[in-house]
Structure 1
Amino acid sequence: MPQTEAAKEDPIVIGTSSHVTSLDPAGVYDNGSWAVFSNIYQGLLTFEPGSPVPKPDAAESCAFTSSALTAYRCRVRGGLTFSNGHPLTAKAVKRSFDRILRISDPLGPAPLFANLDSVEARGPLVTFHLAAADATWPSKIATGAGSIVDPAEFPANRLRSEKSASGSGPYVLSSYKERKTLTLEPNAAYEGAVTTKGVAVEVRYFETPQDVEEAWNARTVDIAYAGLPAATLAGIGPGDTDVRLSAGNSAEAHYLVLNMKSPRRPMGKTAVRRAVADLIDRGQLAGEVFRHTVTPLYSLVPQGVAGHSTAFFDHYPEADPAHAAGRLRSAGITTPVRIRLGHQNGTAAVEARALRSQLEKSGLFRVELMEERDFTTYQKRSLRGDFDIHLFQWVPDFPDADTFVQPLVGTGNVLDNGYTSAEVDHIVRDTQRFTDRGKAVKQFRAIQDIIAKDVPLIPVWHRQRQVVTRSAVLGGHRLAEDAVWRLWELRRL
């Protein structure tokens, strides 16, 4: 019997412990949320796989208006609409950027736009006026922070509280249950850089990597993204014919952030921060906690990114309790120094216990572990200063060393841990005047040397993003490549 309507294919299901924390681009600066933003919202620009140069998406064209690199202009495509039918115009673009700066939410991406003076909209043209030269500006507006939202749905001076959103990206958000599931359907009205029409996708959110693993073993998910435990990843081999393991080029970095807000707290003292750096054994963490699925990191900028250095290895070449004791003794600091170490649950809790053992082994520190399950609450507690040290993950916004520097150690940084350096700020501005990014390598290495001496944070390890898919699912490798979650590339055999 002939069918009048084709049967609807089941969505491809992704399991992850990387949650959406908000659907409002003005209120979040995290990988789980931005992964979804790259599908339901459009930016003026976007990144193609493997390319460091963004290309037009909601824009027809974009360019700096002069060699001074202080004004950047885009022409918005004509006829674009949000999924609710409202027009996407240059005024909507201006409003989207203005509200990020106006709201300036402590968990939002405003620090990424610290150099933005004003946005001008005239007809289809949008012009960004910058306080100083910034060759990385096109890359910054191609991130999730550059998501264009509907002025009719998103208030100008506060975050949107509704658990829904209308965008103009390749997908439409069809359903969302906070911390549980999110379903996306292809957007038939989309016009932009993506030329491939995707299939329906369902994202299921889990609390820990162990929960993702349980769902994977039960075969209730087709893809495991940012979720499986290190031991499981390490055990995947060529003989696993039903599994595809993809590793991207994106260098996900992990740091210890040190709270310098108050000189009365232990991390307010330089000698204490340097002593902590003296005691970290990265090789032990990489081998025993992460089963060699991560690589020790000795610099602010990870290996493989132009501008990488070995600054922390140069200053703290090995775990050295005797040297740490000498630092503290010379500074007149009584031991053991009592510190509070913040972390989340799952694998992070295992890492935190290993770090506690390293710091307490010498008798120089006494560590209280403080676990927080909810990511948003964890962020708020770290910003509030509840922890002396906390574990912190950073996924690059775009392929340039600047994304590991200005947002993390520049004045007004997202860590808000009390660190500021006029010298670092000056060198950051110097790096941003080079359109040939190779010419900024010397400056980036100078910044990393300063950070190794000041120790506002300590690099610990980094890894490539890894995505595991069933063999019957194609395109999973596109989710591992960079900060853009290219769901439209997914297919079933």
Structure 2
Amino acid sequence: MRILVTLLVLAVAGVGGWQLLPSQDSGGGTIDVGTTDTVTSLDPAGAYDAGSWALFSNVFQSLLTYVPGGAAPVPDAARSCSFAKGGLTTYLCELRDDLTFADGAKVTAEDVKFSFDRVKKINADVGPASLFSTLKSVDARNLTVTFHLSSPDATFPFKVATGAGSIVDHTRYPADGLRAGSRVDGTGPYELTAYVKGKKAQLTPNSRYRGAVSTGSRVELRYYPDPAALEKAWKAEDIQAATRQLPPAVLAALDTSDPGRRVYEAEGSETRNLYFDTRPGSPLHDTDVRRALAWLVDREQLASSVYDGTVEPLYSLVPTGITGHTTSFFDSYPQRDTAKARKLLKSAGVTLPVKFTYGYGLGSGAAAAEAQELKRQLEASGLFRVDVKGYEWTDFQKRWATGKLDAYAVGWVADYPDPDTFAGPLVGTDSTMNTGYSSKTVDGYIAGSRQLADRSRVADDFRKLQQVIAEDVPVVPLWQRKEYVVTGADVGGGQFLADGTGVFRLWKLDWI
């Protein structure tokens, strides 16, 4: 997939007088970048979220990475990687021989094997182990790392290139548990020189880095609890760049009237879905109950009233711009229909109204307003009663990972530019989203698509998969959003923070 990046400019927003102000620190020094994303862990084995992986992209190194807008991974810590001849079950990488950790110790193939083995062994509730479901074992000999897969998996290189493939020092990370504290030992383009949870991460260019990219300016990532706080920091000139997420009203007011300001808009692949606990005992266990709920969601109203038109209604798991995108939910539930929802609930034999809990993560953009709008839509039918509650992000993750919520809305940023990232982790058996949903048919489409090295040929598998999901409804897609990065006029490279490849390229930022 090629991501279109357009340079825009920012003018004074209508109501409230919001405007992009010049930086006080122009011309050099540290570039301060603000975000509302949350870092849940500094250990790559313990985090599978956008905020943590954004940091991992800069302080750790994987065997492979992506060039801006690239659809296929390229070598980074590796000199070369390829599948063995004759199939897609053995993947070999030749490690560079000039990589060193901060203490001067050389990076070895054993470090790579250790890094993958511990992700699988630890299998953290909110970790990335599910990405390596097809990884059976890893061998290390000299500079060669050999991955043995349990079944053909053409997407395995894509997963190696993510934060899950971060290489750590085997002498400093425990093999069977997460590392505590705020120290990081990686070989990425930056060193993490200071970290205060929920506040900031100071990044200094790593002079020892060797790989596919170059090091950049000093950067400080600053973390804000919500979009309003991020907007306030921007207006106060505390930061020179802002990303993920300014308030919807601010994003909606962007225009091209002031050529001295920089806003980068990318046709990104961020989506948001409403997930359901499908296990026995859950009020949403019955398929007809979930289908009834799907008949009542008004995405257009949600997009306009909560997000000021800065998101697009989404009717499939795979978003627009990714191979395999369909409109399966529109085809099955074309418009809000209370009568059809009532008929399904009567067929299910449930007591009305159906009561269930709905959780969301605090600080996640307009999540609170979104939750209240969905509650209003569902309860207006008289068929559902929804108990809505927001949770601190880490607590929220643990609650959905341990099956303590009946329904929960979660945003999803593509791990890599391939439809597989919207399938296995979301609806495959033992998926990251932990809905309890399992379908041999869906798993079959996922496994079948992974046997195709030519990724342009997987569209049919994903179209069929999404039709099954529309029938079983373990999840209801809500919306897809463009990605925005705002920088001062004296900072360039903002477009490289949001190009759909899942890599947060802070090293591309520079003073102009």
Band the TM-score falls in, shorter-chain normalisation: over 0.9
| Maintained 8 Å contact 2:403/2:435 | yes
Equivalence for 1:475: 493
| Maintained 8 Å contact 2:286/2:348 | no
| Maintained 8 Å contact 1:289/1:351 | yes
Equivalence for 1:335: 352
Name which of 211, 220, 228 aligns with 1:192. Answer: 211
Matches of 1:479 and 1:33 in 2, distance apart? Answer: 14
Q: Quick one: structure 1 residues 47 and 249, their matched pair in 2 at CA, closer, same or farther if it must change by over 3 Å?
A: farther
Equivalence for 1:64: 83
Equivalence for 1:29: 48
Q: Which amino acid aligns with 1:11?
A: T
Name which of 239, 244, 261 aligns with 1:226. Answer: 244
Matches of 2:247 and 2:276 in 1, distance apart? Answer: 26
Quote how far apart the aligned CAs of 1:331 are.
2.0
1:274 aligns with 2:274: no
Quote how far apart the aligned CAs of 1:371 are.
1.1
Quote how far apart the aligned CAs of 1:242 are.
4.4
Quote how far apart the aligned CAs of 1:384 are.
2.2
1:165 aligns with 2:172: no
Number of aligned positions between the proteins: 483
| Maintained 8 Å contact 1:119/1:129 | yes
1:433 aligns with 2:451: yes
Equivalence for 1:102: 121
Matches of 2:267 and 2:128 in 1, distance apart? Answer: 23
Equivalence for 1:320: 337
Q: Which amino acid aligns with 1:179?
A: G
Residue 338 of structure 1 aligns to a residue whose secondary structure is: strand
Residue 267 of structure 1 aligns to a residue whose secondary structure is: coil
Equivalence for 1:485: 504
Quote how far apart the aligned CAs of 1:442 are.
0.5
Name which of 48, 63, 84 aligns with 2:67. Answer: 48
Alignment of 1:195-344 (within 5 A): 196-261=214-279, 263-344=280-361
1:11 aligns with 2:30: yes
Equivalence for 1:420: 438
| Maintained 8 Å contact 1:15/1:227 | no
Residue 44 of structure 2 aligns to a residue whose secondary structure is: coil
* Cα deviation code 1:404-446 (max 9, x no counterpart): 0011111111011111111111111110011111211111111
Residue 320 of structure 2 aligns to a residue whose secondary structure is: coil
1:136 aligns with 2:155: yes
Equivalence for 1:451: 469
Matches of 1:9 and 1:439 in 2, distance apart? Answer: 47
* Cα deviation code 1:241-267 (max 9, x no counterpart): 443221224310100010112x22211
CA RMSD of aligned residues (A): 1.1
Matches of 2:387 and 2:78 in 1, distance apart? Answer: 51
Quote how far apart the aligned CAs of 1:385 are.
2.3
* Percent identity (aligned): 47
| Maintained 8 Å contact 2:190/2:215 | no
Q: Which amino acid aligns with 1:213?
A: E
Residue range with higher mean Cα deviation, 135-144 or 344-353 = 344-353
1:74 aligns with 2:80: no
* Cα deviation code 1:67-104 (max 9, x no counterpart): 31100000000021012222111000000000000001
Matches of 2:342 and 2:485 in 1, distance apart? Answer: 42
Q: Which amino acid aligns with 1:299?
A: S
* Cα deviation code 1:210-255 (max 9, x no counterpart): 1101101111111111020100011121124443221224310100
Matches of 2:332 and 2:323 in 1, distance apart? Answer: 21
Equivalence for 2:394: 376
| Maintained 8 Å contact 1:186/1:198 | yes
Matches of 1:250 and 1:117 in 2, distance apart? Answer: 33
Matches of 1:434 and 1:302 in 2, distance apart? Answer: 20
Residue 368 of structure 1 aligns to a residue whose secondary structure is: strand
Equivalence for 2:136: 117
| Maintained 8 Å contact 2:399/2:405 | yes
Quote how far apart the aligned CAs of 1:9 are.
4.1
Quote how far apart the aligned CAs of 1:329 are.
1.3
| Maintained 8 Å contact 2:275/2:435 | yes
Matches of 1:299 and 1:363 in 2, distance apart? Answer: 27
Equivalence for 2:22: none
Equivalence for 1:348: 367
Matches of 1:240 and 1:460 in 2, distance apart? Answer: 33
Quote how far apart the aligned CAs of 1:138 are.
0.8
| Maintained 8 Å contact 1:25/1:144 | yes
* Cα deviation code 1:142-194 (max 9, x no counterpart): 00100000111110010001211021011111100011010000001110001
Matches of 1:400 and 1:43 in 2, distance apart? Answer: 18
Residue 426 of structure 1 aligns to a residue whose secondary structure is: helix
| Maintained 8 Å contact 1:247/1:481 | no
Matches of 2:314 and 2:473 in 1, distance apart? Answer: 14
| Maintained 8 Å contact 1:260/1:417 | yes
Matches of 1:348 and 1:243 in 2, distance apart? Answer: 29
Q: Which amino acid aligns with 1:405?
A: A
Equivalence for 2:104: 85
Residue 26 of structure 1 aligns to a residue whose secondary structure is: helix
Matches of 1:154 and 1:27 in 2, distance apart? Answer: 12
Residue 125 of structure 2 aligns to a residue whose secondary structure is: coil
Residue 48 of structure 1 aligns to a residue whose secondary structure is: coil
Q: Please give the TM-score of this superposition, normalised by the length of structure 1.
A: 0.96
Q: Please give the TM-score of this superposition, normalised by the length of structure 2.
A: 0.93
1:442 aligns with 2:470: no
Residue range with higher mean Cα deviation, 235-244 or 360-369 = 235-244
| Maintained 8 Å contact 1:467/1:480 | yes
